[in-house]
Amino acid sequence: MNILIDIGHPAHVHIFKNLAYILGQNGHKITWTVKDLPSAINLLDKYGFNYIKLPQKANNLTGKIFKQIEYDYIILKICKKYKIDIAIGTSISIAHISKISKVKSIVFDDDDDEVQPLVTKFVNPFADYLLSPDALKGHRKRKDTIFYSGYHELAYLHPNRFSPDISVLDEIGLKENEHYFIMRFNAFTAHHDIGIKGFSLEQKNHLINILEPFGKIFITTEKEIEPELERYKLKISQEKIHSLLYYATMFIGDSQTMTSEAAMLGTPSLKLNSFSGKLSVPNEIEQKYQLCYSFLPYEFDNMVKKIKELLNTPNLKEEFQNRRQKMLSDKIDVTAFLVWFIENYPQSANIMKENPDYQYNFK
């Protein structure tokens, strides 16, 4: 088969990289398209994937609408040129072009309909199939959604797909078992981020004052780092961040994705942003497995209290690794499931409709 993978965010490269490797090894031809995002492009280069670069994303809503028409047109031409059979991703464009061409679209979406009205209205209804984590049952307007027992992050952080590289510690001057903290701050420029808030500079400095006596601090940001925080800036290759997260004492940030990544790795993670408590997948990770903690912007004092409590918890990492194992015992190897689903499509969709438990063959 000829398969297109459309990337609109750096995390999507991680989600689909193992899938692409396996499909390529099995004889399928993979075409990658990617928005002009330096971090996503850097990852594709690091992993050795060839790709077609699309124009840069717009930051305001009006610009995004016009840019989307351009993306649809370009991807339609690419699909015709490369005779694409199936297009996959979290992409608006692949859903749209599947309605005006023979290309089949499989859209992966792990956000609740309520927080992404544009996607709910203009993307999900147009996809041939919509795949979502089963934490979203009851939060999807589309009734034929195929639910699987997993998370996006388990496509690349499941133990079958990821082994931490301890040499990353030496690269940034750390010793094994040395305490350190990763902090991540977002730009909040996506269409669903309008009005969303994270940490203020004052709050960032307050957290640093609390954490610094306990270990080194490394900050990664989606935008330019503030001059006052420059000395904490993490200087490491992008593809090594997950190994660093695995060995970290704690993760703190306003990033949805990296909070979930840390949780998948068994690292205590805390986030503060306007989405907290409003998304089914993070809520399950927090409430069912107790692998992370979320706070709204006005709950900063509560976050500080929880951080201090965790800092004084004996055997903190061991406890969270035990919680991680409980979570993993319930979930599937998402990449193995996706390989099967795509290679056996459309029969795989019918199997999942008739027997959803078939997915547990991919543990």
On the question of pLDDT at 196 being above 70, the answer is no
Residues 123-136: pLDDT tens digits?
899 999 999 999 99
Categorize the per-residue pLDDT at 58 as very low, low, confident or very high, splitting at 50, 70 and 90.
Answer: low
What integer pLDDT is reported at residue 186 of this predicted model? Answer: 75
On the question of pLDDT at 307 being above 90, the answer is yes
Could you give the CA distance from residue 287 to residue 72 in angstroms, rounded to a whole number?
39
The residues facing 219 across adjacent strands are 183, 233
On the question of pLDDT at 50 being above 50, the answer is yes
- Asked, colleague to colleague, whether 2-158+332-361 and 170-329 share their fold, the answer is yes
Percentage with pLDDT > 90 across the chain: 77
CA distances, 314 to each of 128, 311, 320, 336 (Å) = 49, 8, 11, 36
Residues 148-157: pLDDT tens digits?
999 999 999 9
What integer pLDDT is reported at residue 222 of this predicted model? Answer: 73
Radius of gyration for the alpha carbons in the chain, expressed in angstroms and rounded = 20
What integer pLDDT is reported at residue 19 of this predicted model? Answer: 98
Beta strands in the chain, from DSSP E residues, in sequence order: 2-7, 29-34, 51-53, 86-89, 104-108, 129-133, 146-148, 180-185, 216-221, 250-253, 269-272, 292-295
Domains of the chain, by residue range, sit at 2-158+332-361, 170-329
Task: Give the CATH number of domain 2-158+332-361; options: 3.40.50.1100, 3.40.50.2000, 3.30.365.10, 3.30.450.40.
Answer: 3.40.50.2000
What integer pLDDT is reported at residue 101 of this predicted model? Answer: 93
What integer pLDDT is reported at residue 61 of this predicted model? Answer: 64
Residues 231-252: pLDDT tens digits?
999 988 888 999 999 999 999 9
| pTM for this model (two decimals) | 0.92
As a whole number, the mean pLDDT across the chain is: 92
On the question of pLDDT at 219 being above 90, the answer is yes
93's enclosing H/E stretch is helix 92-97
Burial of 23 per CB tally in 10 Å (0-12, 13-18, 19+)? buried
Name the least confident of 62-66, 213-217, 329-333, 358-362: 62-66
CATH architecture of 170-329: 3-Layer(aba) Sandwich (3.40)
Name the least confident of 15-19, 32-36, 118-122, 277-281: 118-122
What integer pLDDT is reported at residue 188 of this predicted model? Answer: 44
Closest CA to 150 of 37, 15, 242: 15
